[in-house]
Every structure is written in C-alpha cells, then in structure tokens.
Structure 1
C-alpha cells in the first residue's frame, strides 16, 4: 500500500507523538511507500510564521528546508547553525 501523509500526521510521526492511533501506526509501518507532499514543508513554515509551531529562525524558506529535512532526509547540509535548534542533523558546509 502507498500512503500520502497529512502534515499533522507527519509531525506526529517525527515527534513520536502518541496522538497517532495503533491502526494508523500499523498501516504506516506496513506501507510499501509513505509520501509527504511538497506542500507539507510550506504548510509547516506558514504555521511557524503564524506562531502555531516553535520558531527558531526568521527565514520561512530555512524553516521549510528544515521541515523537508525532518520528513525526507537524514541530514541537512548548511552553514546556518541556528537550524540545529530544530533537532535535525546538520552537515557543516564550511568544514
């Protein structure tokens, strides 16, 4: 089964939040592919800007990169050390 995950479910999964029900968790674990929409980082960036999520960085595009990194990749390559406040692994671009 292939699944497309809504933004709040993506956050729950990233945060290991207990909001997700057992049936949903099971389906995600058994899925052949789990997709996150390209609009998910955009939505999360907007919510941060509106104060609905924690904001450590003023640049909305940086926040969208962080959201995408949290969903799709193990590490973000950047020179922006402030992004480490979001709990993503950073690869220092200057080292």
Structure 2
C-alpha cells in the first residue's frame, strides 16, 4: 500500500492511541512503504465539532500530527470539483471531500464508515 488517507475518526484514534484502531490498521499505518495522509478537511471537521459542542479547540493538533510523521493533504480545486460531482451516497461534506481526495490522488481510505464503500475507492478497515 503506497498512500493511505485517514478518515477523521481514524486520525483521532491514532492520536489518542485508542484501542478501536485495529491491529491491521496500525500495521498499515506504521509500514515503512506507506505514506499516511491526513486531509486538511479532517482537522477542520474536528475543530468544527469541538466548537459546536462548546469545547475548546485543540491548538496543538498540527504539532501532534507532525510528531507522528503524518503528511497533510491540502484541498485542491480539483478535489472540490470532484467532491461536488459525487453521487449522494454520503451527505457529509467532509466525508465527500475525503472520497474525492482518494479519487484524485489514488489513495486508500482508512475508515469504519460503510457508506464510503459505495464509492469507487479502495477502503481499508480502521477497526479490528
């Protein structure tokens, strides 16, 4: 596996060393031949959810991602056009962006969201 894009929950499970992130997922993330990406949409989604629940934003999130050696994947205009043209299997705009980025950048999405499998992308299960 050459490129792996973490869904927001997989990113958070990795950051928190949460047991929901399965052993196969951890092995894929740690494999030396795998480049692991976090979409620019994921920190945005996480901060929006924190803010909407009245919780403080995490100002050190990017430092924590860097410490794990994760690469940030910016959102391009092509990503936006692809996300906007996807079938409406998923209505969450953040998830649609992740699907679009997998398509545009030939990445595998690590997620537990079964709806993502309805799109023409490779999916790697995040949970055991």
TM-score by length of 2: 0.45
RMSD: 2.2
**Which residue number corresponds to residue 38 of structure 2?**
36
Output the CA distance in 1 between the equivalents of 2:42 and 2:60: 11
Shift of 1:32: 2.4
State the secondary structure of the residue aligned to 2:13. helix
Q: Kindly report structure 1 stretches of 4+ aligned residues shifted beyond 3 Å.
A: none
State the secondary structure of the residue aligned to 1:17. coil
Number of aligned residue pairs: 66
TM-score by length of 1: 0.59
Gaps of 5+ in 1: 58-62, 75-95
Gaps of 5+ in 2: 69-128
Shift of 1:25: 1.0
